[in-house]
Amino acid sequence: MNDTIVATSAVAPEGAPLVLSQSQALLERARAKIPGVTLSMMKRPEHFAPGSFPVYLARGEGARVEDVDGNSYVDFVCGLGANSLGHGHPALLAAAREALEVGFVHSLPTAHEPQTAELFTELVPFAEMVRFFKTGADATSAAVRLARAITGKERLITVGYNGWHDHFMFDTPGVPRAVAELTRRMPLFREADEPALLDAVAAQGSELAAVIVSVPYNRIISAEFLRRLREACRDRGALFVLDEIVTGFRVALGGVQELHGVAPDLACYSKALAAGMPLSAIAGPARHLSVMDRLQVSTTFGGETLSLAVCRAALRIYRDTPFIDQLSRLGQRLRDGVNAVAQVEGAPLRVQGYDAMPLFSFSSDLGLHSRLMQEFQGQMARRGVLLRRDVNFICGAHRDADIELTIAAAQASLRSMADSGAFELTGAGEP
């Protein structure tokens, strides 16, 4: 079978249906050979706008990507948040090429390991030691094992998505009941959810190894609440763990813990950590991290040199440029601009949450939101913008022109939806 992908055309005229024949052909091939169609669950076609949204990309440069049919887009998916500096950043490519020349998996450790650890701990305020892995779920699972070893306790409370491993994703087929019974998942989408979490820590504290929190993206948790949660954990001998897989090196260099000045017992990082290369980390004070010396926590690819080299290149950019301020400024402009045009068009769309991670919401009713957002995603793709269904990402390659194009595309898309009657049963106002 011919594996050559030929770009067939430039992007369709503004607002016209996209030509997606190459994407559809590849999709049929994938359905026959790959369970779930693709290798990352959140990249499956059903999470976007099937039939009116590209399935396969061919290349990316800066803040733009091109699909296999030759259509070009401003990218706010950004590798599910991993591509913090955009696609093909010269400094990252140079670091990867240099590491590649001397080998990417060696038979003994390389200098990349201590060099990267030193730079990481320089930038993350509370981190005295760090251990690297490959994926976010690796790091959060290591945090679970470490917390259990430190506390001698087994039960967990988790908030948000912390990975696919059994102790997190326990309500899926294939997880033993005994494992599932050790974890309690709790929400924090509303301020009203906060007392219940504090009460649960108080009630279960004598059995809790850890409370693991990935902050919600639809609102900004207060520093005061995080301090109260941390103290509740410490009063009962449980570790307070921040899952900074998404927020690290994005809302602040160290993530939420730096933004709010609340030091956790452990924190986990990935995605922006190596700007798209497969790398994750668990970090914390030496008194905790040193316990990993006696744990069985290992991976063949933990010292893979390309990712460590790219990580250092990315960390230097974060440290030496106004990267964080740029993400915040552009995200604020996107939020304000889209919210303004939504109001003009009578659409119930609101952009909210952290500026660097704008979350699009049509309704607190998830079914209604999904229906409207799917239509909006398709409309935006026609106009050259790729969006996720909920949280999206500003990257270091986005520029003011990209944001203004997106605001204009949002207005045209919402107007088209309004003209078709999409909002008639929802009304305008707060979602």
Over the stretch 120-145, which tens digit does the pLDDT of each residue have? Answer: 999 999 999 999 999 999 999 999 99
Assigned token pair, 418: 């309004």
144 within some domain: yes
- 108 & 192 share domain: yes
Task: Give the pLDDT band of residue 1 (cuts 50, 70, 90).
Answer: very low
What H or E segment, with its residue span, contains residue 386?
Answer: strand 385-386
70 within some domain: no
The CA distance from 273 to 421, in Å, is 43
Cβ-based neighbour number of residue 119 at 10 Å: 16
**pLDDT score at 6:** 37
**pLDDT score at 172:** 86
pLDDT above 80: residue 179: yes
Contact in structure between 215 and 240 (CB atoms under 8 Å): no
**pLDDT score at 14:** 64
Q: What confidence tens digit (pLDDT) does each residue in 312-346 have?
A: 999 999 999 999 999 999 999 999 999 999 999 99
The CA distance from 395 to 330, in Å, is 9
- 260 & 217 share domain: yes
Domain count, the chain: 3
Name residues whose C-beta falls within 8 Å of residue 228's C-beta, 6 or more positions apart in sequence: 198
Domain boundary among 320, 336, 368: 320
What H or E segment, with its residue span, contains residue 150?
Answer: helix 136-151
- 197 & 246 share domain: yes
Which residue, 362, 368, 340, is CA-closest to 431? 362
Assigned token pair, 19: 């030509």
203 within some domain: yes
- 316 & 340 share domain: no
- What residue numbers bound the domain in which 223 lies? 90-320
- 220 & 254 share domain: yes
User: ∠ at Cα 20 (14, 23), nearest 5°?
Assistant: 140
- 159 & 279 share domain: yes
β strands within 76-163, DSSP E: 129-133, 155-159
48 within some domain: yes
The CA distance from 258 to 254, in Å, is 5
Across the chain, what does the average pLDDT equal?
93
Contact in structure between 254 and 229 (CB atoms under 8 Å): no
The one-character DSSP state at 298 is -
Q: Please, which residues bridge with residue 75 across strands?
A: 386
Cβ-based neighbour number of residue 378 at 10 Å: 19
**pLDDT score at 168:** 85
Find the range with the poorest average confidence among 37-41, 55-59, 261-265, 375-379: 37-41
pLDDT above 50: residue 430: no
Which comes out higher in pLDDT, residue 87 or 430?
Answer: 87
Contact in structure between 76 and 394 (CB atoms under 8 Å): yes
Cβ-based neighbour number of residue 70 at 10 Å: 17
Please, where are the H alpha helices in 218-357? Answer: 223-235, 256-260, 286-289, 305-320, 323-344
**pLDDT score at 7:** 35
User: Average of pLDDT values for 202-214?
Assistant: 94
- 327 & 266 share domain: no
409 within some domain: no
- 158 & 289 share domain: yes
Amino acid identity, residue 407? I
Name residues whose C-beta falls within 8 Å of residue 73's C-beta, 6 or more positions apart in sequence: 11, 54, 64, 65, 66, 67, 381, 384, 385, 386
Percent of the chain beyond pLDDT 70?
Answer: 95
Assigned token pair, 9: 């055309």
370 within some domain: no
- 132 & 264 share domain: yes
Tell me the CA distances in angstroms from 26 to 5, 11, 58, 241, one per residue in order. Answer: 9, 19, 12, 41
**pLDDT score at 5:** 36
Find the range with the poorest average confidence among 73-82, 100-109, 242-251, 338-347: 100-109
Amino acid identity, residue 182? L
- 168 & 237 share domain: yes
Cβ-based neighbour number of residue 344 at 10 Å: 11
- 277 & 329 share domain: no
Tell me the CA distances in angstroms from 178 to 171, 173, 182, 223, one per residue in order. Answer: 12, 13, 7, 35
pLDDT above 80: residue 61: yes
The CA distance from 414 to 411, in Å, is 5
Question: The domain that contains 309 carries what CATH number?
Answer: 3.40.640.10
User: 408-430 as b/e, with b when 16 or more CB fall inside 10 Å?
Assistant: ebbbbbbbbbeeeebbeebeeee
The CA distance from 8 to 23, in Å, is 11
Sign of CA dihedral 404, 409, 412, 415: negative
- 34 & 96 share domain: no
